[in-house]
Amino acid sequence: MDHHKNPAYFLRKAGKISQLGNGKHLNLMGQIFSGKDHRIYLLGNPVIFWGCLGLTFVFIIAYAIDTVKSRRGLRNNKYWRAYKDRMFSAGWWLFLGWMLHYFPFWPMTRVLYFHHYFPAFLFSAMLSGVVLDYILTWCCISVPEQFSLIVFQGCIAAIFAVLCWSFYLFYPLSYGMYGPSSMEEGSLWRNIKWMESWDL
């Protein structure tokens, strides 16, 4: 069916329900779930959502770099090589799971909601854990041994701090919002409206 005649490609004013092309899969747009005194707005935590998406690309880049190095005959410590083989193997299975739960929605011409993307996001989050472990391990072995524990603890503390900060900043998305919307003066939610397309 021609997408110009398909209502799924158009926005409904209440809730802005849209097809995949409008950006819910990239967290560019949310969906109003409840618009009364206590408002619920379906939107992923952008720090987590975009962080996982970015780490998915980091995984692909890391694999490409490792493949080029291997073909040029650059040798690695056998333990580091075994670790990378395990990491890339696990990562590719998770990446496959992400693709199988994400790309089937592209050819659909129906209205898509956030729950259509949650299974794919779960695989993306698990892949992010694998990639972060790889980055932390690489950082630790790249510094002198006496500093590796400090680097590891510092990186873990930084990741934990970012996660706590992002939860503190965006907790209203989980627990609901009240008062004036982010478009009105004096709104408590203006500081978390990072994009104009978010109707907080």
User: What DSSP assignment string belongs to 109-129?
Assistant: -S---GGGTHHHHHHHHHHHH
Q: Could you give the CA distance from residue 96 to residue 98 in angstroms, rounded to a whole number?
A: 5
Write out the DSSP string of 133-178: HHHHHHHHHHS-HHHHHHHHHHHHHHHHHHHHHHHHHHHHHHH-B-
Res 11 pLDDT > 50? no
- What integer pLDDT is reported at residue 90 of this predicted model? 92
- What integer pLDDT is reported at residue 59 of this predicted model? 93
Name the more confident of 75 and 94.
94
Res 129 pLDDT > 90? yes
- What integer pLDDT is reported at residue 156 of this predicted model? 92
pLDDT tens digits for range 13-40? 444 444 444 566 677 777 777 766 777 7
Mean pLDDT of 122-141: 91
* pTM score of the predicted model: 0.76
- What integer pLDDT is reported at residue 35 of this predicted model? 62
